[in-house]
Amino acid sequence: MNHLVDWYSKGFWLATFSLVAWQLAKSHDGWSRIEQLGLVLGLSIYAISFSFIEVTAVSKLVILSRDMVLLGFVSIVFQALRSYKSLYWLSVILLYALSKLFIGEWQKAAFSSVPVYAPDGENEWELLVQLKDKDALKDIQSVVDKYRLITEPAFKLKDASNTDLDEYISIEVPQEDESLLLDIKSELSVIRNVQWLEDNEIIKAEENPAQVFKSTFKPLSNDPHSEKQWAIEALGWNQVLEKFNETHIKPTKRSKIFILDTGIDGNHEDLKDNYVSIDSKYDTDELGHGTHCAGIAAAVTNNEKGISSVSPGPAFVSVSSIKVLGRFGAGTQRDIINGILQAADAGASVINLSLGGRSLDSKQKAYSDAVAYANAKGAIVVVAAGNDNADARGYAPANAQGVITVSAVDTNLNKASFSNSVEFIKYKISAPGTQIYSTFPNNQYAPFNGTSMAAPYVTGLVGMMKSIAPDLTTAQVYDILQSTGTEGKDVTQTGYTINADKAITKLLANLSSLAQ
């Protein structure tokens, strides 16, 4: 949807500035026709893009009305300024600056604040509500009855002793009443025993095809496609293999990597020896996104097939799947949180979330509670920063407390043009995210771009680190990654870029102090 929203915004502003120019060029036939053409073209782009954006009819009507009011206001203002040329052009410059700095992003952000179509085509709206105790259900019953809401426990977890997640309920609003969502939220929020309320937002994973990178890199592994993996050279991967071959380092415990995504092709030739199924329904992948991420994190190295991962051998990591995204690559916040809980209860060492989206809520309490639950169970959560060249603080779950948020760098280790900035995220790090060659369903391989590709490089490295030191915490892992990372020219926006060789070297040198 993000690309459609971008075109929607471009069309609107082309129409707006064509209208502004037309106001001044009405007396010049040649220029007037050009501006009229620009106006028609802009409105056409706007209308076509807007029609394909997947939001509800009520939401589209609200946004359309807002846009037409804004366009009409601009027309009236500049019509009045026609006789004042200096003031007219000063206002054009001001409008352009506002469109770039504020109004354009405000317009696009509106699509994150309205109901969208649910992952598999069912149009529904849900809320996540934390009650102060289970008896508080009776306090919200009047609102439930008034709007014919459906309620049920939001999350499934084995151990509720050290978390508030068992206090959350999920509320479904009937489709015909979705226009009343703001009223429902307002009435619920003032009830004394409602402790927290947030939207059960739609989260997506995006596939962005890329070209195969042509490299002169000569890997030490015998995997035939590893020469197409520029990223493993940038991570110091040959040095890692040399270190493990020379020192014969043994894992203390095999790390369990969990990929929460569109599923994984568990029978893929370059994954199956590392793949551990926890449920057969997670072992297929119609879209391919989860399988691609799995290969980056945990493809079998030195098996004379496919690609290489950071792990030097199958004794160090396994990879498992929990399908939290539907066949169109989308899922809800509730789905993803339940996936985090399931992975944590299954003994995950590292949980990879190569997914996300713009968020309405500046504070992600449910996500943060789920991450805390996973941390308490011994898991580290790694999240993609997002692909909109924006501030990752506005994206979930990248902005959840306790996660390691990963931005993407290009082949020069500069910030990838699409990558969100992690400047203001606590645990920020970067990894290669352009032209990433990895596994794809049905024994295929493909290159993709995205922070979705960067995150599993971090996940794979963290998995290997935890196979050597299983009790590593998020803070300890981040300290090692950050202190041994490569400083690129965009480090403020990206964080340091992971270096597997230096990270493993520091980990091995500090094992005794980390164990204390």
Cβ neighbours around 176 below 10 Å, total: 8
Is residue 151 within 8 Å of 169, Cβ to Cβ?
Answer: yes
Q: How far is CA 61 from CA 66, 67, 501, in A?
A: 9, 10, 54
- Is residue 54 predicted with pLDDT exceeding 70? no
Residue type, 190: V
| pLDDT tens, residue by residue, 208-218 | 888 988 777 88
Task: Indicate the DSSP class of residue 99.
Answer: I
Q: How confident is residue 108, by pLDDT bands cut at 50, 70 and 90?
A: low
Is residue 111 within 8 Å of 53, Cβ to Cβ?
Answer: yes
Q: What percent of the chain has pLDDT over 90?
A: 58
Q: Which is more confident, 23 or 499?
A: 499
Is residue 448 within 8 Å of 436, Cβ to Cβ?
Answer: yes
- Is residue 110 predicted with pLDDT exceeding 60? no
Q: Which is more confident, 100 or 84?
A: 84
Is residue 43 within 8 Å of 10, Cβ to Cβ?
Answer: no
Catalytic residues: 261, 289, 452
Cβ neighbours around 491 below 10 Å, total: 19
| pLDDT tens, residue by residue, 404-420 | 999 999 999 999 999 99
Q: Give the residue-averaged pLDDT of 98-121.
A: 54
Is residue 367 within 8 Å of 400, Cβ to Cβ?
Answer: yes
Q: What local confidence, expressed as pLDDT, does residue 107 receive? A: 58
Phi and psi dihedrals of 343, rounded to 5?
-65, -45
Q: What local confidence, expressed as pLDDT, does residue 58 receive? A: 54
Query: Please, what sign has the CA dihedral across residues 415, 416, 420, 425?
Result: negative
Task: Indicate the DSSP class of residue 101.
Answer: I
- Is residue 290 predicted with pLDDT exceeding 80? yes
Q: Give the residue-averaged pLDDT of 93-97.
A: 80
Q: For 190-303, list the strands marked E by DSSP.
A: 194-199, 202-204, 208-209, 255-261
Round to the nearest angstrom and report the end-to-end CA distance of the chain. Answer: 48
- Is residue 442 predicted with pLDDT exceeding 90? yes
User: Which SS3 state, helix, strand or coil, does residue 135 take?
Assistant: helix
Q: How confident is residue 1, by pLDDT bands cut at 50, 70 and 90?
A: very low
Q: How confident is residue 425, by pLDDT bands cut at 50, 70 and 90?
A: very high
Average pLDDT over the chain, rounded to whole? 88
Most confident of 27-31, 135-139, 334-338: 334-338
| pLDDT tens, residue by residue, 115-169 | 444 444 344 558 999 999 877 888 999 999 999 999 999 999 998 888 999 999 9
Q: What local confidence, expressed as pLDDT, does residue 243 receive? A: 87
Q: Give the residue-averaged pLDDT of 378-395.
A: 96
- Is residue 346 predicted with pLDDT exceeding 50? yes
Distance CA 296, CA 293 (A): 5
Q: What local confidence, expressed as pLDDT, does residue 102 receive? A: 57
Q: What local confidence, expressed as pLDDT, does residue 118 receive? A: 44
Which residues lie below 8 Å from residue 33, measured CB to CB, with a gap of 6+? none
**How many CA atoms, within 13 angstroms, populate the side-chain half-sphere of residue 296?**
34
Q: Which pair of structure tokens corresponds to residue 309? A: 């991962």
- Is residue 72 predicted with pLDDT exceeding 90? no
Q: Give the residue-averaged pLDDT of 323-340.
A: 92
